[in-house]
Chain A
Amino acid sequence: MNTKSSISKFVVDAKNLATRELNEKIREAIRDGHKQIDIQNVSGQRYIAAGIQELIDIEIFGVPGNDLGVFMDGSKVVVHGNAQDATGNTMNSGEIIIHGDVGDITGMSARGGKIFIQKNAGYRTGVHLKEYQGLRPIIVIGGTAQDFLGEYMAGGVIIMLGLNLKGGIHNADYVGTGMHGGSIILSGDVRGIGREVEVQQLDQEDNRLVEHSVQEYSKHFGCKVDEILGSKFKKLKPVSTRPYGNLYSY
């Protein structure tokens, strides 16, 4: 690609643009060789960065609509504002960094990549995350999340830091219900966990992952790394990779 376009930022003003128009503009910019795209005045436009396989830096100013980064494969998306539902849906790889809160089902069925949420996440965060060979999705939640966190998880990691948590208890119930792979690492207690999971101590590898993730979190949003790492973390792990082995009569 020519150096000019990779240096020059492509700036789109999303004001009054329909979803389809905005995404067409983004795809066009990528076709033209741009590697950095700023999108101003975003307000509810959906499917931003859907299915993009090139390695692009996208910065979003405003509130993007649902399915941000759906099927995305490799790009980096930074949201300066909150994001809505289904952020990072079925994402393959790449990074989504949200300076604020996210809605429900963040990272649903993601197969890889990282999602950093500065503050809180909604319901069913990380539902059915998977992992395979080198690909492992990681979701880092700065604050807290709602019920069914990590439901059906088949792989991947969710790290929940519990910053500014009142009373040390997350509101989430049914955490890890149906989980049969991966792990949820959190600081603080939750209201209830699924019957397919058990609480474990962090091992060395977990500790390394937490440390690394908190550092990255701090790089994005700024925080006191040592203080966070000093708090007590625990891990939820599925009891079995075959939770429903004896449910049936043949």
Chain B
Amino acid sequence: MMIITHNGHIIAIRYIYVFQFFNSSEIKLSESARQLVNKPLKSVQRQNNPYKDEKVIDSCSIFGMMDQNKKLFAGNDIIEASASMNQRANGLGSGYAVYGLYPKYWNNYAFHIMYDDKEALDWGSKFIESNFDIIFDEEIPMDIHGIHKHVPIMRRYFTNIDLDNLDEIKEDEYLVNKCLEMNTSGKGAYVFSSGKNMGVFKGVGWPQEIAKIFRLDEYKGYLWLSHSRFPTNSRAWWGGAHPFAHLESTVVHNGEISSYGTNRRFLEMKGYRCTFQTDTEIFALALDYLQRKHQLPVEIIAKIFAPPLWKDIEKMSESERNLLRRLRITYDKLLMNGPFSIIFANHGLMVGLADRLKLRPIIAARRKDMLLLSSEEAAIIKILPDIDDVHHPKGGEPVIARCHEGFAS
């Protein structure tokens, strides 16, 4: 097995397809506060899971594209690509994550919040005001002309955390706690992204419909993820669409994992609260745990989510075998068992991964500095017919895309 270390050092390349290495500066954080565990979460669960299923099941298409030079580009292409995979979805949810979205407010926490009604809006705005320094806020511009369904009130806030005693570590914890507090308040307010210079747009509808509602053609970013959903529960909720954001990480996901019960139990033991009862959320939290708290590189995380089979581990050299065996034993409860493909992103980083038996599709491609990941190759060809390079990753083999060094966001 090969490891690509933080500083871009390549050890060996066998399973991992690497676009580019980058001295990624991951946030260093301490162990999370356990107090999140005992809060009532009724409102989110009620909205996202009206039939009280054990968990929400959905199927989907996923797509991601990133410019390695962090050159900003409009969302037209990804909207078109996502729409081209409409047969994988049923129009009950889609969404986008965009990085490099707010250059003007690049150093402010950008809250995207949806509200059920005016009352919730008043409460939420007050909540933000009393916990953060608002630099600027406004309604998220929307075009609901010709849309005949209920659309929540959407507002965004660019803020600072102004507390003297908070270092970077505590800031993250503070942010996570405040978002959780808001989302579980039962007041009808839901924060769906809160990172710096990035944002999530999502809702109930087909990809092109959601793009139109949020006027996404007016935005630019250097990294876009999209998702189109096929929930089995038809009373879909706007907040339940993908991508899921946790701090500055976002995840889109396709498939259903059968190890959900084991994974969730483990994450709850580690102090996480599983609010949404979806597999996607499990991925987002597991990533946070391994990446942010345990400081493990994505190459290693891929081997935890989708480890090689024991029989293959046994055939490896002693040091590889030892590494993979220890990883499997130690993080046994974060093995994601069952069909999945995911794309997760953070500033300057985009990773695609499918389960170890490759039960869900994922394709990687490159066109000059543009790196793409998709459920279907056709969707890539549709927007970039002359790609330089296509790669069909094996199950459990992560595709890691990093931005070139030295490009400011």
A/B: CB atoms within 8 Å of each other: no
Q: Footprint of B on A, CB under 8 Å? A: none
Taking Cβ atoms with an 8 Å cutoff, the residues of B that contact A are none
